[in-house]
Every structure is written in structure tokens, then in C-alpha cells.
Amino acid sequence: MLQVANIRANKEAYIEALKKRNFDAAGIFSEVLELDETRRSTQAELDDTLAESNRISKEIGLMFKNGEHQKANLLKEKTAGLKDKSKTLSEKLNETSEALTKHLYNIPNIPNDLVPAGVTEDDNVEVFKEGEIPVLAEGSLPHWELAKKYDIIDFELGNKITGAGFPVYKGKGARLQRALISYFLDKNTAAGYTEYQMPLLVNEASGYGTGQLPDKEGQMYHVTEDNLYLIPTAEVPVTNMFRDEMLSEDVLPVACTGYTPCFRREAGSYGAHVRGLNRLHQFDKVELVRIEKPENSYAALDGMVEQVKDILRDLKLPYRILRLCGGDLGFTSALTYDFEVFSTAQDRWLEISSVSNFETFQANRLKLRYKSADGNKQLAHTLNGSALALPRVLAGILENYQTPAGIKIPEVLVPYTGFDMID
């Protein structure tokens, strides 16, 4: 959430920057500033009214003490009017503050200068590519056919139990899934991230804190009776550990990792691009979250990018990195790098990770601040990234490592799986 003071100070620059997102901010900024003026003037009037009421109350007390009952009773009538005025002003202040917050919740983050202008994913900019794309034998299969051939993932059984987008992993498929989770967590903790095991449901305040609400309300599974939400990513519970916290400067940076299942309601679509593991409603993911001082956050973002690179190099999967354009940038992000792995059998790139810097956008919603050694208090920067999302990594392994004899297991995973071939 943007700070009103920053909108006031940088209004024209922010309007221009948000054009990268194809978001016209002029109208909503004017409304925000008008509401803020009303809020501030109402607060000042309320403070004056309460101060006058308190002053008169003290006078009344002295008058009664001095036996001036008639004068005291006249003043009591005035305080009754001041109380009514205070109530009216308080109601107006609450309504104005709520309207202001609602407007602010609907304004996306200001994109970093590095974000390219653009409308769709076709306008994203490739900034890095690494790894050799394997040449597969004739008759090679996409992962959904391999899953059926080797009986390691059952999409039809998942559809029977729950519905489309909820696969059942079996035998070596389940063990490979577990191996990936353990490997990702081990890589992250070795890099200095503290592992957390988090709840899979969060309250409404947590959804608003990291920006999933109200922006992605339709994509989240809502447990209506308890007003809880199934998490779309571990970013939500992990980052919300620091909601309403004042951190000491000496604890920064904070680096967290965690594995969770993730749940997303997405509009249904059809075709090979969403078949099998390409798009799921429930999937596993290992997440990275960092809390940083503002001056260090972009160096930290680069470090997170290198962390994901290192994992993909270990897996020996061909991948590329895209800098997202304004039209494809997430609502809360100031700068995002997407990682994509190449699926040889599908002959296309599959997104497997996003690494983002939110700057102060989430921290302002979360009221997440830190206190420097000189006592100065300021908003922290938050960052997050997938390291990694499992479904498309698994799809890439199955498709790129297939041979006529079976599916080889990446060497780095063999100590975790206990086998080196699915056949």
C-alpha cells in the first residue's frame, strides 16, 4: 500500500510510473488526497472539540467545588453539545478513514525504473538464459503421458476424489516429489534461510497484509464460516509473522524459507498449456521471504535470483530469466524476475519461479517497521521468491530426463529419492 505522504510528494511522478502498468492513477490519486485532507481537518476539529470539552469539564469541577452550582449547570449543557459534536466528528473520521484505506488498497505498487513498459507477457524481457536443451529420442512424451506410462501421477484419480487440478502422486512419483521438497529446503537453509512450517489457512488481516486481498479474492479458497483463507503461497503466513512488529536494526536481514501446499482458484481453461502439471489448484512450493533495510533490498533480490539459479544448475535444467513488464507485473511488486524451465517434450517454456521486491508496499500494509541505532523508525522492505514451485519443475524433469529405458533422476536428487531411474 502506498503512503499518502509519498503520493502527495510524488503525485505526477507516480502517475507517470503507473502508466507502465496501464493504470490511470490521476483520478484515484485526487480522491485519495481529497479524502486525506478531509480526514486531517476532521481529526483537527475533533481534537479541538475534545480539548475544549476537557477544559470545560475541569471548570465545572472547580465551580461545583466553589459552590457555583448555577454556572456549573449552564456549562454542563454546553458540554452535552460538545459530546454530540465529538460523536458526529468521530463517525465522520471513521467513515473517511475507511474510504481512504479502501482507495489505497486498490492502487498497485509503483514499478521500479527497471520495469519495461508493456501490456502482456509477450512484452517481458529475457535477461538471462542458461543450460543446454536436450535432444530427445523420437516418440518422446509430454509429462502427463509419462505419468500414466510409469504410473507415478494419477490425474483421473485426483479428479474423482476432488476435481480437476488436484493430482495424486504415487510410488516413485510421490518419492520424487518429497525429494524435491527436501532438496529445496536443504539448499535454502544452507544459504542461511531459517526454515518455518506454517499454517495453511490465514485470517483476513493476513490476506490484506501481503496484498492478496482485495486484489486476488476470487482466486483464494475461502472458508466462509470461519472467514479463513487457504494460502495461495507460503509468502502469506511467513511474511505475516512480522505484521505489527517493530524490529531492531541488528536483526536485519531476516531470511525465511518454508514448504507448504498452495491453493489457487483459477478460471478454467483448456488445451495443452494447462494439461497435467502445467496448471493446478493444489500444488507444492518452497518459498523464500526476506525482510531487509531499504538500502540493501535490491542486492538481496539479486542474491535470491542467484539462489534459484544455483538450484536449477544443480538440477541441470535449461532455464531463462525474464524481467516482467508493467502489464504482467504483480499488484504488490515493484520488480519481478520470472524463471522459466524449457520443456523439450512440449517445446515451450514453463514458469517455475517468481522473485520479487515489494519495497515498502507490503510493509506499510503490515505496519512492519524497524528501529535504527539512532532511534529512527522506518518501513522495512519485503521480498519473496519461489525456490521452487514443484509441478513444472517436476514436469521439466520428467520430460527432459526421459530416455527409451525410462526417466533418469537428476544426480543431485538421488540421495533423496534412493533410486536413479523411474522405469
State pLDDT tens for residues 174-207. Answer: 999 999 999 999 999 999 999 999 999 999 999 9
Looking at residue 177, its pLDDT comes to 98
Looking at residue 142, its pLDDT comes to 95
Looking at residue 60, its pLDDT comes to 83
Write out the three cell numbers for 247: 524490529
Q: Measuring CA to CA, which residue among 243, 215, 233 is closest to residue 379?
A: 243
* Residue matched to cell numbers 510524488: 10
- 117-135 residue pLDDT tens: 999 999 999 999 999 999 9
CA distances, 344 to each of 93, 154, 349, 369 (Å): 59, 22, 9, 46
Which one is predicted more confidently, 358 or 71? 358
Mean pLDDT of 273-278: 84
> Which residue positions form the known binding site for L-serine?
233, 264, 287, 384
Q: How many CA atoms lie within 13 A of 268 on its CB side?
A: 3
Spell out a b/e string for 156-177, using b for 16 or more CB atoms within 10 Å of the CB, else e: eebeeeeeebbbbbeebbebbb
Element containing residue 352 per DSSP (H, E):
strand 348-359
Mean pLDDT of 73-100: 90
**Rounded to 5 degrees, what are φ and ψ at 417?**
-85, -35
What percentage of the chain has pLDDT greater than the value 90? 87
Q: How confident is the model at residue 217 (pLDDT cuts 50, 70, 90)?
A: confident
Mean pLDDT of 258-264: 97
Mean pLDDT of 369-397: 96
Spell out a b/e string for 328-364, using b for 16 or more CB atoms within 10 Å of the CB, else e: bbbbbbbbbbbbbbbbbbbeebbebbbbbbbbbbbbb
Mean pLDDT of 245-267: 94
Domain 4-105 identical in fold to domain 121-422: no
Looking at residue 56, its pLDDT comes to 87
CATH classification of 4-105, choosing from 3.30.70.100, 3.90.580.10, 1.10.287.40, 3.20.20.150?
Answer: 1.10.287.40
Looking at residue 64, its pLDDT comes to 80
Mean pLDDT of 343-358: 95
Mean pLDDT of 131-157: 95
> Which residue positions form the known binding site?
233, 264-266, 287, 351-354, 384
Looking at residue 271, its pLDDT comes to 47
Looking at residue 270, its pLDDT comes to 42
Asked if pLDDT for residue 19 goes beyond 70, the answer is yes
Looking at residue 269, its pLDDT comes to 47
Q: Where are the domains of the chain?
A: 4-105, 121-422
Looking at residue 273, its pLDDT comes to 58
As a dihedral over the C-alpha atoms of residue 311, residue 260, residue 232, residue 312, rounded to 10 degrees, the angle is 10
* Residue matched to cell numbers 524481457: 125
Is domain 121-422 annotated with CATH 3.40.50.10190? no
Looking at residue 74, its pLDDT comes to 77
Mean pLDDT of 225-235: 97
Write out the three cell numbers for 355: 522473485
As a dihedral over the C-alpha atoms of residue 107, residue 333, residue 362, residue 198, rounded to 10 degrees, the angle is 130
Mean pLDDT of 16-40: 98
> Which residue positions form the known binding site for ATP?
264-266, 351-354
Amino acid (one-letter) located at 128: F
| Distance from C-alpha of 288 to C-alpha of 395, rounded to nearest angstrom | 22
Residue 374: CB atoms within 10 Å: 6
Torsion sign across C-alpha atoms 239, 240, 241, 243: positive
Strands 377-379 and 348-359: unpaired
